[in-house]
Every structure is written in structure tokens, then in C-alpha cells.
Amino acid sequence: MANHKSALKRIRSNETKRQRNRFQHKTTRNAIRDFKALEKKKEAQKKFPIVASMIDKLAKKNIIHDNKAANLKSKLNKYMSSL
């Protein structure tokens, strides 16, 4: 257990950040899953910027790696083109 006041605060803040990161990551994964379930190109074109923005935000906050974000967006774009 931590002995210093600052260490106790760090434990609390780390847990808060972990929970927030988990929520944002899971929400984005669900959005990607829903995007892949779309069957109409019009819907996909409308939804793509929203999902891409979510992915970019995760990369910006270092929740996922920049290259992973690029790969995800590329695959989603490829899927949208194939519709």
C-alpha cells in the first residue's frame, strides 16, 4: 500500500483514467462492429466520419497506437468501398 499522500492520489486518478479509457475503447469497438454490420453504402458513408473520429481520438490519447488507428480506418474504408 502507498505511504505518501501523493501516491494515494495517483492510485485514485489512475483508476479513474483506466475506467474512462476502457469505456472509450469499448464504445469505439462497438461502433466499429455496428459499422461492419451495415449493408447500405449510403448509411456507411454517413457513419464513417463518426467512427473514424472516434478512432482518431483514441490514438490521440494514446489508448491505441497510431498505426493501429490507421489500419482500422483503412480496413473500414475498404469495407465501405466494397459495399
Residues 6+ apart with CB under 8 A from 25: 58, 63, 64
Residue 1 resides in a domain = no
CB 10 within 8 A of CB 1: no
Q: Is residue 19 part of a domain?
A: yes
Whole-model pTM? 0.83
Q: Indicate whether 59 belongs to any domain.
A: yes
How far is it, in rounded angstroms, from Cα 56 to Cα 76?
13
Domain that holds residue 65: 8-82
For residue 79, the model assigns a pLDDT of: 94
**The C-alpha cell that represents 8 in the structure block:** 494515494
Q: CA–CA separation, 55 vs 62, rounded Å?
A: 11
Q: Name residues of the chain where pLDDT drops below 70.
A: none
Q: Residue 73: its pLDDT value, please? A: 95
Tally the domains of the chain: 1
Using DSSP's 3-state secondary structure scheme, residue 43 falls into: helix
